[in-house]
Amino acid sequence: MKKFKKVTDSQVVISELMLPSHSNFNGKIHGGYILSLLDQIAFACASKHSGVYCVTASVDTVDFLAPIEIGELVTMKASVNYTGNSSMVIGIRVEAENIQTGAVKHCNSSHFTMVAKDDKGKSVNVPGLILETDNDIRRFVKAIKRYKMKLKRSREFHETDFSSDEYMHFLDGQNVKLELN
């Protein structure tokens, strides 16, 4: 296995025409269907980079920015943004094109953390990344920052000494009614 690979070596692009069977009750493409496609392309990109089977460890962000319409051509572009020992952060950009007008809109950005596994399900090392552009460096550093924010958030929300009195000020101005017994 190579010790390092270029980001471009593992990039994956898929396109799919959105059909009525992919839509929700509002006539837009169902977010769950897009999530399924995101997971597939994240798997393909991570497996291409690592050369082994990969599993989804977490979905760090999925930002739905614009609805996708029936009949639009959806294109997903996936890149390895970060590599750890056995994990990889896969960044995915989703665009939808109106085939009749040629108008393209950015619909979704996502970050999946994938882990490389051997035949017995044990985590295995993955090649590192060769960063060649400012964009490669920016994506790598942003992945590190997202990970640090996730750790901080995890520590804050798993406090065992949580006291409602301590956090009451967060309720100011919120759409909530307290009825404490």
pTM for the model stands at 0.88
H-helix segments, the chain: 31-50, 134-157, 164-167
pLDDT in tens, the chain (181 residues): 569 999 999 999 999 999 999 999 999 999 999 999 999 999 999 999 999 999 999 998 788 999 999 999 999 999 999 999 999 999 999 999 999 999 999 999 999 999 999 999 999 999 999 999 999 999 999 999 999 998 888 887 766 556 667 777 888 899 988 888 7
CB atoms within 10 A of CB 79: 21
Predicted local confidence at residue 142, as pLDDT: 96
Q: What is the structure's pLDDT at 105?
A: 98
User: What pLDDT score does 162 carry?
Assistant: 61
User: What are the angstrom distances between the C-alpha of 22 and each of 37, 99, 131?
Assistant: 11, 17, 37
User: Residue 159's pLDDT is what?
Assistant: 60
Predicted confidence at residue 2, as pLDDT, reads 64
pLDDT confidence of residue 52: 97
Instruction: Answer yes or no: are the C-beta atoms of 137 and 79 closer than 8 Å.
Output: no
Residue 161's pLDDT is 56
According to the model, what pLDDT value does residue 163 have?
67
Domains of the chain in start order, with CATH, are: 4-159 (3.10.129.10)
User: Would you call 95 helix, strand, or coil by DSSP?
Assistant: strand
Report pLDDT for 171.
84
